[in-house]
Structure 1
Amino acid sequence: MERRRTHLSLSFSFLVTFCYFFIAIFATFLEAYDTLSPPQTITGNKTLVSPSQNFELGFFNLGSNSTRRYLGIWYKNVPKKTVIWVANRDNPLAHDFGDDGSLTFSNDGKLIVHSHKGNVIWSSNSSRPARNPVAQLLDTGNLVLKDIDGRSSEKYIWQSFDYPCDTLVPGMRLGWRFKTGLNRHLSSWKSYDDPSNGDYTYSVDPRGIPQLFLNKRNKKIFRSGPWYGQQFKGDPVLSSNPVFKAVFVFDSDEVSYSYEAKDNMISRFVLTPSGSIRHFSWNDHKSSWVSEFSVQGDHCDDYALCGAYGSCSIVKSSSPSCKCLKGFEPRKAQDWSSGCVREDSKGCKSGGDSFEKLTGLKLPDSAEFHANYSISINHCEAECLKNCSCVAYAKLDVNASGKGCVTWFGDLFDIREAPVYGQDLYVRVSASQLDSNAGRNKKKIFILLPVAVSLTSTIVVLALWFIIKTWQRNGAVEKEDLQFNDGRGSRSERNEYELPLFEIAIIEAATMNFSVYKKIGEGGFGLVYKGELPSGQEIAVKKLLETSGQGLQEFKNEVILISQLQHRNLVKLLGCCIHGEDKMLIYEYMPNKSLDSLLFDETKRPVLNWQKRLDIIIGIARGLLYLHRDSRLRIVHRDLKASNVLLDINMNPKISDFGMARMFGGDQTEAMTKRVVGTYGYMSPEYAIDDVFSFGVLLLEILSGKRNKGFLHPDHKLNLLGHAWKLWNEGKALELMDGLLENEFPSSEALRCIQVGLSCVQHRPEDRPTMSLVLVMLDSESAVLPQPGRPGLYSERFFSETDSTSLARLNSSSNHINVTLEKRFYIVGVLLYVVYIEIMKEKKKGESL
């Protein structure tokens, strides 16, 4: 019995001792999981993993066939390895020689990577030596080096967040530490499989007013605008939003920008090899990264696009338009990069100058500017007025104290119109110019005032007559449209065309309440937002603008038309949403966006090789043929252009935007339409509903990579159509082809496409082929193609210099415009009223002077 007790006691002691050692060993193992200390090393497939399993550090290769090996940090739980930091980005290990490398410590406590031969490939430039160094991978993705007693970031000897590569993650800072001179900035990879330093850098400029700059080598590409307390005034997407919270530090120790992700979202900013700054978030439903937005919004974000004293604005076609600030004129009429110069070059007249207030602008950049955070805006104006070198000033209330201003000395660059987030800019105007303006105003009043008196009575009569007629005419139309808006159309109509009707709450949640960060473009009659349904399906929401041309008539048109269309080359309508005055269409989302976003962008167009362009051309032709011949109702799109062709994930084209389309019976061969609509440069000369002409224009644009509208050639004044026809007649048609294709296309196919395009844009409508014949000509090498005649709209004089996207809505019958007497009275009345208003304005200005 005693022996048994002794045996049990020994067994219990052994069990306790074993558990103790097991726990100790296991604890040591856990401690080593995210830390590294001498004499430990990382080599081969060994890694460090952050405590919460968010990030992993180790050696890796880029691609299965890569011979280069790097030490880096990547997301642990993301299936596709996504690297956020590379240590030896410019000095890879030669993996083909069996050199896997190792990470260890130097004698003075630095982290080093050395080759199998003992050569140091990379080392941490620690601020001081460490007696007991410990490296740790934090849950933020930050690799830190500290003494074993280090407890705070101030005691870090070195950290990877101080030396970012192409990626900014939550908690990482961009900016300067003034005491040490450390500049934390992003630098792009050379290519997607080469992490060495590329051409682009993204950094904080701390001079005067902190701003973020994107540079290509030493050339400025993009500027965020100044930090204004809560946001960068020139780039609102960097401000706090439903996705992340922006954090900006600006004090005597540092100036830096960082962000904090909301709702534990996995997100990152990436400076791509092509120079785009994009924000990505991880989508668990799709198990992939989703691009939320790009920091650069449009072409007006291109640095100094309009030169000195030039202001850029985006018109409805998403094209940039330049104009000079008030008091300035273009230096060179055809070269906006040269900017503008003062209309009055006499110089500063002390005591006589004043400032012109310009509203809603992105504040400019200049070679020299000064910020003062303690004076009022009135004091700022007085100080600027004293100095003839001061060309402009603006309010700069960073601390919400009601004080602060910035003054500029030298030419003003990179100005754009920004009605929503822009600021007021006060630009110096000379005294002589003020006198000149006053004189012109008085002269206008002298000439126009007698005219105003004689026309006032006419205007009143015409206006009253028009109002009465409009009320009478619109009563029935509004009643009919409201029936559709409320869902009270006829029973047969609702049954035939019924679509899923989405609740507004679902759409608002999908688009983050129509956040600017979800806006992906403007199309047709409204804004387009990217969204995600609770199921994980991505959608595009087209929200019609209240001031757009599309009322319920066009909305009903688009819903009825698209709901009945089923073709792989037509965009799919998922449903609609009506909430009060708001009308929304919900489409399938196209990840490659519209064709024009690739075709007319020099940096993105290379992805459109010859085969992809040919497939896109044939896909568009098939979609049009379905509309014209194979759908139950014959449908003419009437607004076919590059921005209305969307590309899915496989680059398949899908025709979109049916707001202007019109359907007619299957036995009708001619369209009797009530409206003539379309886009300048794509519509046929006689304003007929002619998709063939628009297809021909689009085909030539795809081949050349050039827009028809706005096309300029140094040797002639022809547009793209005329240029193509000229080359065809001279036997040099292949010179039309996009130079980025580098002749990597069959000449016979290219010539056939050019000939088809020219045949479609012939001046005489009866000479143009049908879409069925177009497909035969594109698909068959044996088909005999007719020689094309002179194109319609082949000279630039046919196009307006303005960038309007739509033709005016005019009454018409068949293919001819017939402006009725009622319309004529209306137009005359409106014009006279506008003249009267302008006269009254000039009179008030004259009285004030």
Structure 2
Amino acid sequence: MTVFSGKELVLMIINTLLFLLFLLHHASSRSLNRITPSQPLRDGDVLLSDTATFALGFFTLSNTSRNRYVGIWYNKVSIQSVVWVANRDNPLNDTSGVLSINTHRNVVVSLSNTRTTGLNPVWSSNGSFSSSSSITNTFAKLLDTGNLVLIEEDGGIQRILWQSFDYPCDTMMPFMKLGIDRKTGLNRFLTSWKSSDDPGFGNVTYRINPTGYPQLYMYRNGNPIWRVGSWTGKRWSGVPDMTPNFIFTVAFVNNATEVTVMYGVNDPSVFTRMVLENSGQVRRTTWQTQEHRWFEIWKGPKEDCDNFRRCGSNSNCNPYNPQTFECVCLPGFEPKNPREWYLRDGSAGCLRKKNVSTCRSGEGFVKLTRVKVPDTSKARVDLSLSMKACREKCLGDCSCASYTTANESSFTGCMTWHADMEDIRTYSSVGQDLYVRVDAVELAKYRKKPFGSLGMKGMISLLVVSILLVLFLVMSFIYCLIKNKKQARKHSKNLFNYSFENSLSMDDFSSGKNLDLPLFDLIDIAAATENFSDANKLGHGGFGSVYKGLLSNGMEIAVKRLSKYSGQGIEEFKNEVVLIAKLQHRNLVRILGCCIHGEEKMLIYEYLPNKSLDFFIFDRESKLQLNWRKRFDIICGIARGILYLHQDSRLRIIHRDLKASNVLLDSELKPKIADFGMARIFGGDQIEINTKRVVGTYGYMSPEYAMEGLFSVKSDVYSFGVLLLEIVTSKKNSGHYEEITSTLVGHIWDLWREDRAVEIVDPSLLVDDDACPNEILKCIQIGLLCVQDYAADRPTMSTVVSMLGNDSSLPSPKQPAFIFKRNKPGDKSNPSTSEGFNSVNGMSTTMVEAR
């Protein structure tokens, strides 16, 4: 039974009573399956879709109002949820309204005394339809998508004359298009309601702007307030957390015929909608039948940096800037009004620095990562060019200020900017790369080395200006090179006998080549960690220690320092560099760079203040900070992160070491999966891999991996199942439960078969006002499905995420793997188990490296 707070209970009762009144009003009404010229829909009647998912009829928005509207709503949702209104600005003030088809083949809303003549309708579809068919062959029907269609039937052939999906209100439904029909000029966009009890046309719109390279915008009174951005091939540039998944599909079309976007839903039983609010927010929600509410899964805009042109022209809004001010001028630019900038007002923007030449004088490009690229209405676009050709094109045009790819999925298409760049911002994880043109001197500041490919003129100018500094750096470089070469010989055998699909040579590591990661200087890292002091030590992992650090610019970091004496650790270090540099997801820890200096090898990560998940769930006091809603969000976040690794990333990754200590929590207790030292890349056609080197953590290993060395995506599913059960129970899988069952999984399985699984749930969750016992039990069932003995029986992570987000029935789990039994103390009735465990799987492996 769902547990509600007092306020939520009152609101639910009020909404339910209103909905019951709404149903009682229609209790004696007719249910129609179509509207014809001879059979109109009168106030009190309802038009149902084929499966009765949607209904159309007359309604009021409150019991204190006499205003009557014609609209479409969810018929199977217990809260009145209107998705479309016909007479938005022209309500009727009594119940004499009629929805009919007039002699001009239009759907009209009128009073009953004007229905037959069609005079003075309060609303009309306003079409101009001509046909040889009789008007009697025209009818209106409500589809199961929530689309009201006006159809003409002639000789068995049906033609749609008009549809409500072409004239949306404030709600975008699955399979509804937003955008422009370039042939007819039809523009489909959302317009907010005036208020929650007035569906009239509000002043906020959500629409595609086709100027330049098309973008999605939110406007208030015609002025842009949020640039959702251009289509990058898989998402809107201003929505970093918009990724294709098992629930939604997205289709964006931009050709000579149309520029449109359409969202689809894979499971028709999932009720989902996107609503534009008059507050200037757009929210996507799904209906949770069990909790009788719409559950928010996304909203925008979210931050101040989302506000259109927050920092003016030629600047970047970076909410993660370690400095207090989020507005930063682009490389090569300076504040237009320094005083306003000093006062933390960046609205005036930035200008190119004075007396700077960026035209054939050794200039180049500085890469800004994870950004929303500038306003593309001002961009020049050539979709036929590669990134390399795009760079050459921009470099050869002195007016070109920046460039990027148009399609981040295929890295094709070229977008260039030749004037002021507007509305740029930085994201924490996913974003595009923008290459900003700078002069030779500015370029040198961003080089990882003191010398780069600056061109002859740039080199000469730098040598003339700073000859003494250059000589000092050259001598220092030679000294370090000789020293590092001697140190490298000591470990050459370990370093070069390494075999991996994406392995790098140590030359690559020394130079930073092919890493796609910034290289940090050892001196800077030592200073940041106070020379790796014990006071800054966060913990010790399988292959080294982790330290907290503070860079000179104020940014907090976490430094994973490889132990000098671990030969195995070199492989894990190289593996982690190769993999995590290519992964970007909000539920994966973000790497900032690495530091390689002789025997010292370190990875630099974002610092997450709330440590790891095991610190919370296995501690008697700390676990109280995680109520059920937070734990459920953590479970879903971990699942989405694993799904990204298995399915949505550029590489197909098997983590192989998922456990509570490898899930870190940020300041908002959002989970981020860490430690990719054990991860492996799968080929596109590979199902499973066999290895003689089994690595991971006992208790989280699947049986086929621990016993036979076989691992696959189902190995991670097993580990996730164990982790899910630990989160729900606040107990470790390796603990001892009751008197004979030695693992958490085994104990939960015994309780599940006896319908007593609720007994193992963390008691603090059951007294939580936000807890839902049925949802908790569902999670236990999902966990048991994930730890089934045979890999083929376990669900995929896409199925797991779907089960977590929906209320559909779940299959019954089969017996889990590793059901160990331990004798009671002193019990020697079974000699074979007196010294250990009795497993259902008696196979063994010759080489196991557990952590």
TM-score normalised to the size of structure 1? 0.51
Across the aligned residues of Structure 1 and Structure 2, the Cα RMSD in angstroms comes to: 5.0
1:250-279 alpha-carbon deviations (Å, 9 max, x no partner): 222111111111333110001012111111
Partner of 1:231: 235
- Matches of 1:377 and 1:124 in 2, distance apart? 47
2:619 is paired with a residue whose SS is helix
Partner of 1:145: 150
Alignment CA distance shift 1:442-1:336 (3 Å): farther
Does residue 55 of structure 2 align to residue 56 of structure 1? Answer: yes
1:35 is paired with a residue whose SS is coil
Counterpart of 2:63, as a letter, is S
Partner of 2:308: 303
Alignment CA distance shift 1:411-1:117 (3 Å): farther
Matches within 5 A, 1:167-178: 167-178=171-182
Alignment CA distance shift 1:471-1:217 (3 Å): closer
Partner of 1:372: 382
Matches within 5 A, 1:363-762: 363-365=373-375, 368-397=378-407, 400=410, 403-418=412-427, 420-430=429-439, 435=458, 444-445=469-470, 547-551=607-611, 555=615, 559-563=619-623, 579=659, 581-583=661-663
Alignment CA distance shift 1:583-1:408 (3 Å): closer
Alignment CA distance shift 1:389-1:589 (3 Å): closer
- Matches of 2:167 and 2:527 in 1, distance apart? 72
Counterpart of 2:149, as a letter, is V
Partner of 2:764: none
Does residue 183 of structure 2 align to residue 179 of structure 1? Answer: yes
- Matches of 2:361 and 2:157 in 1, distance apart? 57
Counterpart of 1:407, as a letter, is T
- Matches of 1:68 and 1:461 in 2, distance apart? 72
- Matches of 2:111 and 2:368 in 1, distance apart? 61
Partner of 1:43: 42
Partner of 1:827: none
- Tell me by how many angstroms 1:464 deviates: 11
- Matches of 1:318 and 1:151 in 2, distance apart? 69
1:165-204 alpha-carbon deviations (Å, 9 max, x no partner): 0001111010111000011001111111111111211111
Q: How many residue pairs align between the two structures?
A: 503
1:380 is paired with a residue whose SS is helix
Alignment CA distance shift 1:552-1:413 (3 Å): closer
Partner of 1:134: 139
Partner of 2:160: 156
Alignment CA distance shift 1:380-1:281 (3 Å): same
Structure 2 unaligned residues grouped into runs of 5+: 1-28, 115-119, 444-457, 484-520, 545-582, 591-604, 636-657, 671-767, 772-851
Alignment CA distance shift 1:101-1:465 (3 Å): closer
1:583-617 alpha-carbon deviations (Å, 9 max, x no partner): 47899999xxxxxxxxxxxxxxxxxxxxxxxxxxx
Contact 1:371 1:404 in 2 (8 A): yes
Alignment CA distance shift 1:462-1:420 (3 Å): closer
Which of residues 276, 281, 295 in structure 1 aligns to 2:286? Answer: 281
Contact 1:37 1:135 in 2 (8 A): yes
Counterpart of 2:206, as a letter, is Y
1:311 is paired with a residue whose SS is strand
Alignment CA distance shift 1:518-1:120 (3 Å): farther
- Tell me by how many angstroms 1:359 deviates: 2.9
Alignment CA distance shift 1:367-1:411 (3 Å): farther
Contact 1:187 1:200 in 2 (8 A): yes
Counterpart of 1:302, as a letter, is N
Which of residues 149, 169, 192 in structure 2 aligns to 1:188? Answer: 192
Partner of 2:847: none
- Tell me by how many angstroms 1:553 deviates: 11
Does residue 109 of structure 2 align to residue 113 of structure 1? Answer: yes
- Matches of 2:524 and 2:106 in 1, distance apart? 86
- Matches of 2:385 and 2:211 in 1, distance apart? 19
Contact 1:125 1:158 in 2 (8 A): no
- Tell me by how many angstroms 1:236 deviates: 3.5
1:227-253 alpha-carbon deviations (Å, 9 max, x no partner): 122222331344422331112222221
- Tell me by how many angstroms 1:438 deviates: 7.2
1:355 is paired with a residue whose SS is strand
Alignment CA distance shift 1:353-1:114 (3 Å): same
Partner of 1:326: 331
Counterpart of 2:276, as a letter, is L
Counterpart of 2:61, as a letter, is L
1:181 is paired with a residue whose SS is coil
Counterpart of 1:364, as a letter, is P
Partner of 1:124: 125
1:84 is paired with a residue whose SS is strand
Over alpha carbons, which structure has the higher Rg?
1
- Matches of 1:243 and 1:219 in 2, distance apart? 33
- Matches of 2:361 and 2:528 in 1, distance apart? 51
- Matches of 1:34 and 1:462 in 2, distance apart? 73
1:348-383 alpha-carbon deviations (Å, 9 max, x no partner): 636765433333322111552221112333433344
Contact 2:215 2:376 in 1 (8 A): no
- Matches of 2:46 and 2:526 in 1, distance apart? 82
Counterpart of 1:115, as a letter, is L
- Tell me by how many angstroms 1:518 deviates: 9.1
- Matches of 2:83 and 2:48 in 1, distance apart? 14
- Matches of 2:95 and 2:149 in 1, distance apart? 26
Contact 1:127 1:158 in 2 (8 A): no
1:141-182 alpha-carbon deviations (Å, 9 max, x no partner): 1001121239888x3111000000000111101011100001
Structure 1 unaligned residues grouped into runs of 5+: 1-29, 483-513, 523-544, 591-646, 651-849
**Which region of structure 1 is more displaced relative to structure 2, 105-114 or 155-164?**
105-114
Alignment CA distance shift 1:61-1:462 (3 Å): closer
1:337 is paired with a residue whose SS is coil
Which of residues 201, 216, 220 in structure 2 aligns to 1:197? Answer: 201
Does residue 67 of structure 2 align to residue 68 of structure 1? Answer: yes
- Tell me by how many angstroms 1:312 deviates: 1.7
- Matches of 1:422 and 1:183 in 2, distance apart? 29
Alignment CA distance shift 1:249-1:432 (3 Å): same
Partner of 1:313: 318
1:555 is paired with a residue whose SS is helix
Contact 2:30 2:45 in 1 (8 A): no
1:68 is paired with a residue whose SS is coil
Alignment CA distance shift 1:468-1:284 (3 Å): closer
Alignment CA distance shift 1:80-1:575 (3 Å): closer
Alignment CA distance shift 1:561-1:49 (3 Å): same
Counterpart of 1:560, as a letter, is R
2:71 is paired with a residue whose SS is strand
1:375 is paired with a residue whose SS is strand
Higher helix share: 1
1:66 is paired with a residue whose SS is coil
Matches within 5 A, 1:799-810: none
- Matches of 1:343 and 1:470 in 2, distance apart? 40
1:761-785 alpha-carbon deviations (Å, 9 max, x no partner): xxxxxxxxxxxxxxxxxxxxxxxxx
Alignment CA distance shift 1:126-1:552 (3 Å): closer
- Tell me by how many angstroms 1:31 deviates: 13
Contact 1:225 1:233 in 2 (8 A): yes
- Matches of 2:634 and 2:102 in 1, distance apart? 65
Partner of 2:257: 253
Matches within 5 A, 1:8-47: 33-47=32-46
Counterpart of 1:429, as a letter, is V
1:420 is paired with a residue whose SS is coil
1:257 is paired with a residue whose SS is strand
Contact 1:575 1:586 in 2 (8 A): no
